[in-house]
Structure 1
Amino acid sequence: MLVLRLAKENPNWGYRRIHGELLVLGIKVAASTVWQILTGAGIDPAPARASSTWAQFLRSQAEVLLACDFFETVTLTGVRMYVLVVIEHTQRWIHILGATPHPTTAWVAQTARNLVMDLDDAGCRARFLIHDRDGKFPALFDSILADAGIKVVLSGIQMPRMNSIVERWIQTCRHELLDRTLIWNQRHLLHMLREYERFYNNHLPHQGIANTRPLQPLPEPITDPAQISQLDIRRHPRLGGILNEYHAA
């Protein structure tokens, strides 16, 4: 059965992630059915994440919200790399702005300019951007965004839930990519992150947006049981099998 195959080949996936992958393949099935199949096979499905009042507030303002943050990773040679990412709350569209061992004022300011150009090209009408009080964000970063009509909102001290969307993405990136990869150098890191960016934006079903994908709509569901039984599902590995995409042949 396809549910058990997905669970076996991707042991870090929970039942909601498997449910989303089935929807991407055009197989409409209830999440509770996936949970029952996994439970019946003795596979412990991951619990659903609880919502919160703050999360509901972020969703209500999602159309005009961006969030960004730095996260760190270390190469095999011991060099600490700083990665800057931005996520759009509405579509969960991720933008990896770059990675550097030295996040200088000039470098961070240039990423802000690049972000503004990318948003203009995409027709994004963001009005607010959330980031924390990290000293790596210079005043020039906020000024460039303000000139583009985007007001910076600082999160509270030691309050990661105020920027929960991007924090959750960073956790996902670590769990699915960085914790399973040995990074050689900056070039290798950027290659891995670009591949994950394309995978996340174009294939990964996201629970926060009804299991759709940031840049791709879901296909029409398959309603004929006979057609489902005849599906030939092919696995397309990325990055040597660290990431898996599934498509109907």
Structure 2
Amino acid sequence: MYKNTRKQRSYDHRLKELVRSTGNIDFAIQRGVPRSTARGWLTKNMSDVITVDALDMSLVELQCEVVELRRRNSGLIALLRLIITVMKVTHFTLSQIRLPQEAQKLRVLQAIEYSRAHFPLKTVLRVIGLSYGRYREWKRNECGLEDLPSCPRSSPHQLTAAETRTIHEMVTSEKYRHVPTGTLARLAERLGKVFASPSTWYRLVRIHKWRRLQQRIYPAKPKVGIRATRTNEIWHVDTSFVRLVNGGRACIHAVIDNYSRRILAWRVLDRFEPGITARLFLDASQDTTVGTLWACDFFSKRAITRRGLVDLYVLVFMHLETREVLATPSTRNPDSAWVTKQTKAFVNLVADREQKPTYLIHDRDKKFSTDFKRLLKNEGIQPKRLPIRSPNLNARVERFVQTIKYEALNHFIEFGQRYLDYLVSEFVSYYNKHRAHSSREYLPPCCAEPPPEFEVIKLNEIHCEEHLGGLIKSYERIAA
């Protein structure tokens, strides 16, 4: 049997492309290509040829190319190690991350398809922590990649997109604005539009955040609240429920003055009683004069003595209407006997006033002993103890303590008890006679009438009075 041992010759693809582009086979015949072969190039489809530009490069260029590829390869390896280390340390895995948007899932699927050209699918899914079942669900893509509560194709009993649009139209329609959502679901069944339970309607309204039209058009909410112009002009009744540690609840009823924010009467009960409001109004109406209400509290300041640093304590009494302050001398040991002694001095000091104090607010400090309360009751003053952990109920005295520390005491180093008493007395004198208060129409506590108004005041008519060595200054017009 005859056997052809001739080897099949191969030709450069560039020569074939030249013959096909020009249609002239002479270029091939001149270079020893048979005529029949050259004619075949004109009729047959040419296969795709991928050229390697490295074949045309010199040895030096190839070596430079290899060095550059090694450098880039080492950088990519270092970056890949860093990413893998961070993923291991942070325990990153897609199994614990929800991707609700379709664009996010498409990006992950595209990255997986690109990686499959280099690694098996099982390896890629294990690296990113994506289960094969979840990957397969994404690839199915029957109802889109957006997270939906149901898919009509996979669950025929669920709502279709047309039925969902019908629900949306009926919920947001002005025609059914007076119909409740549950009744609207039954109405849609009677009309033959949508057959779904009211719970499904409520769930769709909540998920898609559809806003139903209001049944009534309410007036605009006022931006300016009710404000009184004087004391006891407007009262408010407030009821608050407080959850206790033991699981129970306490009901706090209170009558509050709108102008002074003062609590006129209050009760704490274990349940809500509507009839308590009348009794609170009666209690509040028994004493509607703010001028009889005082409050007291302690504050401390560290001073330098011969024995080292010592905490000194001062007891402060404040008239809540005028903000007038009376401060006691400081002491190292503020025991109950000292508190009773200072309270006796306070009672003697205000005994000659027209408006004698009838109430004294104090906190739950043990220094306010039984002797302290007995002394007040003998003088016709009723002590009012604050609830537990409620410093805001004695806010005006707390604010004075902050003011005297920030404006005066924190600017000095107190050397001894007498020096601290001097600083406190000087600031209290300035506070009562010169410091303005916005709630009193910018009048000092001990000033009952505002000063006369002048259109023009010359500089030589203004007197500057310095307090605490010039730390605090007050200005007033020189009397004519």
TM-score, length of structure 2 as denominator length: 0.38
Structure 2 CA distance for aligned equivalents of residues 107 and 87 of structure 1: 18
Q: Deviations over 1:204-248 (max 9, x none)?
A: 1112222111112321111x2xx2355643422111112211123
Structure 2 CA distance for aligned equivalents of residues 113 and 160 of structure 1: 25
Structure 2 CA distance for partners of 1:194 and 1:165, relative to 1, 3 Å: same
Shift of residue 161 of structure 1? 1.1
Structure 2 CA distance for aligned equivalents of residues 58 and 194 of structure 1: 30
Structure 2 CA distance for aligned equivalents of residues 162 and 221 of structure 1: 37
Cα RMSD of the aligned pairs, angstroms, is 2.1
Is 2:454 the partner of 1:218?
A: no
Structure 2 CA distance for partners of 1:53 and 1:74, relative to 1, 3 Å: farther
Given candidates 65, 76, 90, the residue that maps to 2:321 is: 90
Q: Deviations over 1:133-160 (max 9, x none)?
A: 0122222111111111111111111111
Amino acid at match of 1:85: V
Per the alignment, in what secondary structure is the counterpart of residue 80 of structure 1? strand
Given candidates 191, 197, 207, the residue that maps to 2:422 is: 191
| 2:469 equivalent in structure 1 | 240
Ranges in structure 2 where 5+ consecutive residues have no aligned partner:
1-256, 265-287
Given candidates 56, 64, 68, the residue that maps to 2:292 is: 64
Given candidates 352, 368, 373, the residue that maps to 1:121 is: 352
Shift of residue 122 of structure 1? 2.7
Per the alignment, in what secondary structure is the counterpart of residue 439 of structure 2? helix
Per the alignment, in what secondary structure is the counterpart of residue 204 of structure 1? coil
Shift of residue 62 of structure 1? 2.2
Is 2:301 the partner of 1:73?
A: yes
| 2:333 equivalent in structure 1 | 102
Q: Deviations over 1:165-210 (max 9, x none)?
A: 1111111111111111211111001111111111111111112222
| 1:27 equivalent in structure 2 | none
Q: Answer yes or no: is the 8 Å Cα contact 2:291–2:355 preserved in 1.
A: no
Q: Answer yes or no: is the 8 Å Cα contact 1:54–1:162 preserved in 2.
A: no
| 1:143 equivalent in structure 2 | 374
Amino acid at match of 1:125: K
Structure 1 CA distance for aligned equivalents of residues 477 and 445 of structure 2: 20
Structure 2 CA distance for aligned equivalents of residues 212 and 55 of structure 1: 16
| 1:24 equivalent in structure 2 | none
Identity of aligned residues (%): 29
Structure 2 CA distance for partners of 1:175 and 1:132, relative to 1, 3 Å: same
Amino acid at match of 2:403: T
Per the alignment, in what secondary structure is the counterpart of residue 360 of structure 2? strand
| 1:132 equivalent in structure 2 | 363
Shift of residue 66 of structure 1? 0.3
Larger-Rg structure: 2
Structure 2 CA distance for aligned equivalents of residues 129 and 62 of structure 1: 12
Shift of residue 64 of structure 1? 1.9
Q: Answer yes or no: is the 8 Å Cα contact 1:231–1:248 preserved in 2.
A: no
Ranges in structure 1 where 5+ consecutive residues have no aligned partner:
1-51
| 1:42 equivalent in structure 2 | none
Q: Answer yes or no: is the 8 Å Cα contact 1:130–1:153 preserved in 2.
A: yes
Amino acid at match of 1:246: Y
Q: Answer yes or no: is the 8 Å Cα contact 2:303–2:415 preserved in 1.
A: yes
| 1:162 equivalent in structure 2 | 393
Per the alignment, in what secondary structure is the counterpart of residue 372 of structure 2? helix
TM-score, length of structure 1 as denominator length: 0.72
| 2:143 equivalent in structure 1 | none
Q: Answer yes or no: is the 8 Å Cα contact 1:203–1:245 preserved in 2.
A: yes
Q: Answer yes or no: is the 8 Å Cα contact 2:303–2:416 preserved in 1.
A: yes
State the structure with bigger RCO (CA 8 A, min sep 6), 1 or 2.
Answer: 1
Structure 1 CA distance for aligned equivalents of residues 311 and 419 of structure 2: 14
Amino acid at match of 2:314: V
| 1:111 equivalent in structure 2 | 342
The count of aligned residue pairs is 195
